[in-house]
Amino acid sequence: MSRVYNFSAGPAVLPEVVLRQAAAEMLDYQGTGMSVMEMSHRSKPFASIIETAEADLRELMAIPDNYKVLFLQGGATQQFAAIPMNLMQNKVADYIVSGSWSKKAFKEAKLYGDARCIASSEDGNFSYVPNLDNLEISPDADYVYICQNETIYGTRYPKLPDTQGKPLVSDVSSMFLSEPMNVADYGLIYGGVQKNIGPAGVVIVIVRDDLVMEDVLPFTPSIMRYSTQVAAKSLSNTPPAYGIYICGLVFKWLKEMGGLSAMQQRNQEKAAILYDYLDSSRLFKATARKEDRSLMNVPFVTGDAELDALFVAEAKNHNIESIKGHRSVGGMRASIYNAMPKEGVEALVAYMAEFEKIHG
Ligand code: PMP
């Protein structure tokens, strides 16, 4: 068996120890005589899996007691709709558009009310996070929305916007659990898990309890109401049970690795290896503004589309997979999530240096 260095933006690399444990427990989960995949979501063993997962996530992120944790389906994209449906009591929301994902969320919110784009970096091809000083927050906004780490363009908010007391809603899909966050700064944090936490099919929503309301937009499907899912403890219908189990294993792994501060340090070290090389290279160039660079997604180009294509094509020979940039921007992108070992980043930089010697 040989494993590659998988730089995919998501679904993405998972910790090998987690995959091994899942494999070992595949046929008989802890003496139950069945796989977690085969188990009733109302059974005692599954209750323990989801309760332990929530407790471990609460511990890792130091989630205050007045926040609810939900494990849902529908991906991050479904939350683009669920958020306005649940939170737009005044039918006004402010969106900061820093890339494709916040743009999509903004567009979706417009279906349900007066969503306003209060800052955008589209004019600079989303290579930076919009200026957050002097934002014109709408006095009647129900919330202010950001995508805190933009997976495609490789930017990350260097600081949070001052929302003037409005709840801050953040899509953290591509930076989930990569560093500590102060949950109390947010009204709602959410993300798909298929980048940093588990397999596709689970989205985690962390929502302050005063934002879990009965008084939602009237057409909101029951299944998409946070109040329904809070009351049912994410078990309103059959949850993505196997995915939640893997998330739980990853939470245990993160605790063993020393928690989120340790992860942040590791991620900073890994990202520095790549950015330092990019900053010194005469061939490759990072595309995001320096102050706003993501620790998780690193897009870069040579400036020559043919050379980019050659770099991507030859990467396989170096055990490097899924290094191609998103189809909307081209070039290359290295996603270096929690589970990407430092050796993987070093292998990538070694290949880049070799390529530069020949083509630079
Ligand atoms: N938000 C961000 C930041 C993402 O990177 C993605 C997926 N790449 C999404 C939302 C959409 O996620 P999903 O496919 O789970 O709906």
What's the CA gap between 351 and 301, in Å, rounded? Answer: 14
Please report which helix (H) or strand (E) contains residue 259, including its range.
Answer: helix 259-280
Instruction: Give the structural domain span for 292.
Output: 258-359
Which pLDDT band, with edges at 50, 70 and 90, does 327 fall under? confident
What's the CA gap between 273 and 267, in Å, rounded? Answer: 10
Q: Which whole number is the average pLDDT over 39-53?
A: 98
Q: Is 281 left (phi over 0), alpha (psi -120 to 50) or beta?
A: beta
> Is there a single domain that holds both residue 289 and residue 304?
yes
Tens of pLDDT along 101-114? 999 999 999 999 99
Using the 3D structure, point to which of 233, 256, 279 is the last residue of a domain. 256
Residue 4 lies in a domain: no
Please report which helix (H) or strand (E) contains residue 147, including its range.
Answer: strand 144-147
CATH of the domain at 46: 3.40.640.10
> Is there a single domain that holds both residue 217 and residue 345?
no
> Is there a single domain that holds both residue 227 and residue 339?
no
Mutation to probe ligand 1, out of 71, 77, 155, 296 (largest number of atoms < 8 A from CB):
77
> Is there a single domain that holds both residue 102 and residue 218?
yes
Residue 264 lies in a domain: yes
CATH of the domain at 351: 3.90.1150.10
The ligand 1 atom at the shortest distance from the C-alpha of residue 149 is 3
Q: 171 forms bridges with which residues in the sheet? A: 147, 190
* Residue-by-residue DSSP string for 277-341: HHHH-SS-EE-S-GGGB-SSEEEEE-S-HHHHHHHHHHHGGGTEE--BPPTTT-SEEEE--TTS-
Q: Which whole number is the average pLDDT over 313-318?
A: 97
Using the 3D structure, point to which of 222, 256, 290 is the last residue of a domain. 256
What is the per-residue pLDDT for 360? Answer: 83
Reading the block at residue 239, the tokens are 């949850």
Which pLDDT band, with edges at 50, 70 and 90, does 175 fall under? very high
pTM of the predicted structure, to 2 decimals: 0.98
Q: 300 forms bridges with which residues in the sheet? A: 286, 332
> Is there a single domain that holds both residue 243 and residue 263?
no
> Is there a single domain that holds both residue 198 and residue 337?
no
Q: Which whole number is the average pLDDT over 282-301?
A: 98
> Is there a single domain that holds both residue 275 and residue 190?
no
List all residues 6 or more positions away from 221 whose beta carbon is below 8 Å from its beta carbon: none
What is the residue with the minimal CA distance to atom 12 of ligand 1? 76
Residue 82 Cα to ligand 1 midpoint, Å, equals 14
> Is there a single domain that holds both residue 250 and residue 157?
yes
- Quick check: helix, strand or coil at residue 150? strand
> Is there a single domain that holds both residue 110 and residue 216?
yes
- How many C-beta neighbours within 10 Å does residue 276 have? 11
Residue 12 lies in a domain: no
**ipTM for the complex shown:** 0.99
> Is there a single domain that holds both residue 348 and residue 272?
yes
Using the 3D structure, point to which of 237, 256, 275 is the last residue of a domain. 256
* Residue-by-residue DSSP string for 73-100: SSHHHHHHHHHHHHH-SSSEEEEEE-SH
What is the per-residue pLDDT for 329? Answer: 83
What is the residue with the minimal CA distance to atom 9 of ligand 1? 76
> Is there a single domain that holds both residue 248 and residue 350?
no
Residue 195 lies in a domain: yes
Count of the separate structural domains present in the chain: 2
Reading the block at residue 32, the tokens are 């139950």
